[in-house]
A = this chain, B = another copy of it.
Amino acid sequence: MNISKAHPRFLSLSIRERLANAVKDGIMVPEGLIAHGRAEAFDYLLGEKTTFAASKATLAATALLLTAEYPVLSVNGNTAALVGREIIRLSHMLSAPIEVNLFHRTRQREHVIAQYLKRLGAREILGTREGAKMTIWGIASPRREADPRGIGRADTVLIPLEDGDRAEALERAGKRVIAIDLNPLSRTSQAATITLVDNVVRAVPGLIKAATRVRSLPRRKLVTIIENFDNEENLAITIQEMIGYLRGWATD
């Protein structure tokens, strides 16, 4: 398909094409395309932009990552395909390891994703070593597996495009969880310590920008940013923004 750059839907059409290719390359599973469609619909209800509430969550998440003892960035197929390069950059900035964690898990796909990220410049990818995995309790999918050198010992985990089961289980395991999820009603969004209700292609660059801006702040300032952030309130504001968008249509 030939899409003109002038097309008003150029960005989302070219992202779709990129994802279809990621399925062909074995980075993504077909189910990942369905998840992307769900995200598209919610993004549509946010006017496809980073809201004020999302910016606030991004700043608080950055402070959480910068003050963490051992932060880990979790990556699945969609995340690798959409923002692989940016996750690697964030990983370098934070000295935070990257761990592959898949819902539709095969050794083969773990390997393909790790190789892909290494080609993009990642030094090491955790979560792919056979026989060196531990289990996070209460997860009804292969996502229960964690690398003891990564998510297993992390105090803070970034989980872009996650399922609710693992978000809840990671919280129960006492970890601080940063979710990136366009559905503010999802179990993931509700369970996380901080939720970025934003498109991952805007959210991860947003984290990089925020980290550049605040990483030299004294620790107590970062802690204040975290303490002043209320995830529940922030999600409620996001839902209000969606309501406003729908109401605009209903009264047209």
Q: Hey, which bits of chain A sit against chain B, CB under 8 A?
A: 1, 3-4, 6-8, 16-17, 19-20, 23, 29-31, 33-42, 44, 104, 140-141, 164-165, 183-185, 187, 236, 239-240, 242-243, 246-247, 249-251
The CA-CA distance from A37 to B28 in the complex, in Å, is: 15
For A33, give the chain B residue with the smallest CB separation.
Answer: B33
The CA-CA distance from A240 to B251 in the complex, in Å, is: 10
The CA-CA distance from A8 to B163 in the complex, in Å, is: 11
Closest-CB distance, A39 to chain B (whole angstroms): 7
24 cross-chain CB contacts under 8 A = A1-B104, A3-B141, A4-B141, A6-B140, A7-B165, A16-B34, A20-B29, A30-B30, A30-B33, A31-B33, A34-B34, A34-B36, A34-B40, A35-B37, A37-B39, A37-B40, A38-B44, A39-B41, A40-B41, A41-B41, A240-B250, A243-B243, A243-B246, A243-B247
By secondary structure, the A interface counts as: helix
**Chain B residues, Cβ within 8 Å of A39:** 37, 41
Decide: A7 and B250 in contact? CB cutoff 8 A. no
**Chain B residues, Cβ within 8 Å of A185:** 44, 246, 249
Decide: B243 and A44 in contact? CB cutoff 8 A. no
For A104, give the chain B residue with the smallest CB separation.
Answer: B1
Closest-CB distance, A158 to chain B (whole angstroms): 23
Given known pairs A7-B165, A36-B34, A40-B38, the reply for A239 and B249 (CB within 8 Å) is yes
The CA-CA distance from A63 to B211 in the complex, in Å, is: 59
Decide: B29 and A37 in contact? CB cutoff 8 A. no
For A22, give the chain B residue with the smallest CB separation.
Answer: B30
**Chain B residues, Cβ within 8 Å of A36:** 34, 37
**Chain B residues, Cβ within 8 Å of A251:** 236
Decide: A4 and B140 in contact? CB cutoff 8 A. yes
**Chain B residues, Cβ within 8 Å of A240:** 250
The CA-CA distance from A243 to B41 in the complex, in Å, is: 15
Given known pairs A20-B29, A165-B7, the reply for A250 and B243 (CB within 8 Å) is yes
| Best-buried of A3, A29, A41, A242 by chain B (most CB within 10 Å) | A41
**Chain B residues, Cβ within 8 Å of A20:** 29-31
**Chain B residues, Cβ within 8 Å of A140:** 4, 6-7
The CA-CA distance from A31 to B33 in the complex, in Å, is: 7
**Chain B residues, Cβ within 8 Å of A247:** 239, 243
